[in-house]
Chain A
Amino acid sequence: MEDLRFPNWITLAMGVTLVAMPWILPSLTLASEILVLATGALSCTLLLGSVGLLSFGQGLYFGLGAYVSAILIRDFAVGAMAATLAASVAGCLVAALAGLLIVRRQGVYFVMLTLAFAQMGFFLALAFPKLTGGENGFGNVTRTTVAFEQLPLSNPLLLYGFLALLCFGAFAFVQRIIASPFGSVLNAIRHNDSRAEALGYDVRRFKLAAITIAGGIAALSGAMNTLLLSFVPLSAIDVESSERLLIASLIGGVGSPLGAFIGAAVLSAMSDFLSPIWPRWSTIVAVLLIVTVLFLRDGLLGLGRILRRRPKDALNG
């Protein structure tokens, strides 16, 4: 059994790693990319690891957060911190709305609906090019200052520090949720939702709460992505963006928030090193995913705990 207290040694180790990363990794950009992806993957970890909800649609909130923060910063001269906060709130709101429609359907419908809503977000962004820049993307988002205009984010190291702070905040928040009584209820729902229902918990409301929080976290990582790139590509909101967040959380292991970070680090490093050599490097990711599901059920931070729950024969389902 993993140490579920908060804060625990993992919290500390995570903090130390985030401080050390710029000096260990070959480039500051790679380190910053890991932060963005890790934060986004945390939203999938929270959903799949805690409540057992498999979402193929977190990219919708990632893209939403990216666009909201970009529009606020460029067109309304809002500061980076306020824009990031606003993006997270927007992510929560949209996730709550979509969640209201989604939690009414059970089981496999959930997976299909998350993907369908993500696809809807993509076509929304495509259909309103005046707002989002359409296929050309949303450019010229200047990196503003934070901390009462004392720290300019145009300095890459300060930007890294700011992103690291946000990532650490999201990490500690997810750890705290999992350790809380609310987290225990989510865990009970994952193990057996009808039994949780029988115990008197309103399963739908707990699921909705988890979906809302996960939407906010994904939107936060979208806003972080905007700060990092100074630009929002249309690909921020496509289905592939959803898949990236999910894959990062899966290969790291959804049993713990640490898995999101490890998965993000592995995936970002692969992207950085492999994509210049072999554009079709996603093939390796797919193989890695198959290996993780079939053989590494206990590896890469306890993905197995999720995949082995309900060991009932699928043929009898």
Chain B
Amino acid sequence: MSAQVLTFGALNGVGIGMIYFILSVGLTMIFGLMQFVNFAHGAFYMVSAYAAFAVAQWTGSVLPALLISPLLAAIFALVSERVLLQRTYNLPHESQILITFALAILAQESMTMIFGTLGKNVPVPEVFSGVVILGGFVYPSYRLFVVGVAAAVAVSMWVAIERTRFGAVVRAAAENPEMVGLLGFDSRKVFMAAFAFGGALAGLAGALAAPLRGVEPLMGREALAIAFVVVILGGLGSFSGALLAALLIGITQSLMSMIWPGGAHLMIYGVMTVILAFRPAGLMGRA
């Protein structure tokens, strides 16, 4: 295999990894604040990908979905938080996991009812349907666009969390919600906002991924497992850990699909097992 093909594979892997990062960072953030694993996170991603499909059908381009899908996912997250999740805050974390898990089944069944069991293709937006030539490499411009959007999201998230007043409140609420409440902030509202924002990120990942992989009802389950691997390797609550882990498994998957297509997904979990065997606390985690 030539160096050129390898580089191409690695570049593709960066694109996939960036989508995995946006997907997982919402999960990490919700956990950091609310201390539970959101099993509906994959469902947010899946529903948004279907929304992207619908938008592409109506308007002829998937681009408006980059705004509509996250918005829809945020509304879905908000409604489920108000209607179901808030009833479980006084119960142990298992009940939150199980409620979000049931929510994921409901979302999957609803999408199957509306769109059917078969997968659908989502066309790449026309503006980005061409290729870019990068110093001898031919690279699909949509993938480059995905990397750009993801990088912009990562930077703005970092700024929002580290440099703004809202970010400071969010960080404080993750550390000690009672104290934040005593200081006069409504920590419930912070949780709601964070849950909606985490959902919106999953929604953006779904809309970005739809033209690359198509949409199907089971994509939410697959995405949830991938987000778990990223969080297990990167450490819950760690942004840089999530970025590193997401890029690692994205590149692994992309390179493996050129060597052994049948085992590309298997290797994601293979990498996870090997890393766990040698670093039980993950890549960046403290033991």
Verify if A101 is at the interface (C-beta below 8 Å from B).
Answer: yes
- Chain A residue numbers with a CB within 8 Å of B88 are 293-294, 314
Q: Which residue of A lies closest to B181 (CB)?
A: A315
Shortest Cβ distance from A306 into chain B, in angstroms?
A: 7
- Chain B residue numbers with a CB within 8 Å of A250 are 98
Verify if A309 is at the interface (C-beta below 8 Å from B).
Answer: yes
B89, B94, B101, B270: which contacts A289 (Cβ < 8 A)? B101
- Chain B residue numbers with a CB within 8 Å of A239 are 221, 225
Verify if B272 is at the interface (C-beta below 8 Å from A).
Answer: yes
Are B177 and A307 in touch, CB under 8 angstroms? no
Contact with B along A39-50 (1 / 0, CB 8 A): 000000000100
Shortest Cβ distance from B259 into chain A, in angstroms?
A: 12
Main secondary structure of the interface of B (DSSP, over half): helix
Contact with A along B264-286 (1 / 0, CB 8 A): 01101110110011001100000
- Chain A residue numbers with a CB within 8 Å of B112 are 280
Within 8 A of A (CB), among B12-61: 31, 34-37
Shortest Cβ distance from A244 into chain B, in angstroms?
A: 11
- Chain A residue numbers with a CB within 8 Å of B37 are 108, 111-112
> How many residues in B have their beta carbons less than 8 Å from beta carbons of A?
56
Verify if B126 is at the interface (C-beta below 8 Å from A).
Answer: no
Give the complex CA separation of A309 and B87 in angstroms: 16
Are A108 and B93 in touch, CB under 8 angstroms? yes
- Chain A residue numbers with a CB within 8 Å of B106 are 283, 286-287
Verify if A181 is at the interface (C-beta below 8 Å from B).
Answer: no
How many chain A residues sit at the interface, stated as a range, is 35 or more
Within 8 A of A (CB), among B69-97: 84, 87-97
Within 8 A of A (CB), among B229-247: 229, 231-232, 236
Give the complex CA separation of A124 and B263 in angstroms: 8
Are B105 and A282 in touch, CB under 8 angstroms? yes
Are A293 and B98 in touch, CB under 8 angstroms? yes
Given the known A-B contacts A239-B221, A314-B89, are A123 and B36 also in contact in the complex, defined by CB atoms under 8 Å? Answer: no
Are A101 and B276 in touch, CB under 8 angstroms? yes
Are A314 and B93 in touch, CB under 8 angstroms? yes
Which one of A28-36, A113-121, A158-166, A267-275 contacts B? A113-121
A101, A115, A127, A243: which contacts B225 (Cβ < 8 A)? A115
A111, A290, A308, A309 pick with most chain B CB within 10 angstroms: A290
Give the complex CA separation of A54 and B39 in angstroms: 13
Are B102 and A286 in touch, CB under 8 angstroms? yes
A54, A117, A309: which contacts B269 (Cβ < 8 A)? A117
Given the known A-B contacts A127-B263, A283-B106, are A315 and B89 also in contact in the complex, defined by CB atoms under 8 Å? Answer: yes
- Chain B residue numbers with a CB within 8 Å of A309 are 92
Contact with A along B202-231 (1 / 0, CB 8 A): 000000000000000000011011001101
Are B102 and A289 in touch, CB under 8 angstroms? yes
Given the known A-B contacts A104-B280, A127-B262, A307-B91, are A285 and B225 also in contact in the complex, defined by CB atoms under 8 Å? Answer: no
Verify if B254 is at the interface (C-beta below 8 Å from A).
Answer: no
Shortest Cβ distance from A43 into chain B, in angstroms?
A: 17
Shortest Cβ distance from B96 into chain A, in angstroms?
A: 7
Please report B residues at the A interface, Cβ cutoff 8 Å.
31, 34-37, 84, 87-99, 101-103, 105-106, 108-110, 112-113, 177-178, 187, 191, 221-222, 224-225, 228-229, 231-232, 236, 260, 262-263, 265-266, 268-270, 272-273, 276-277, 280-281
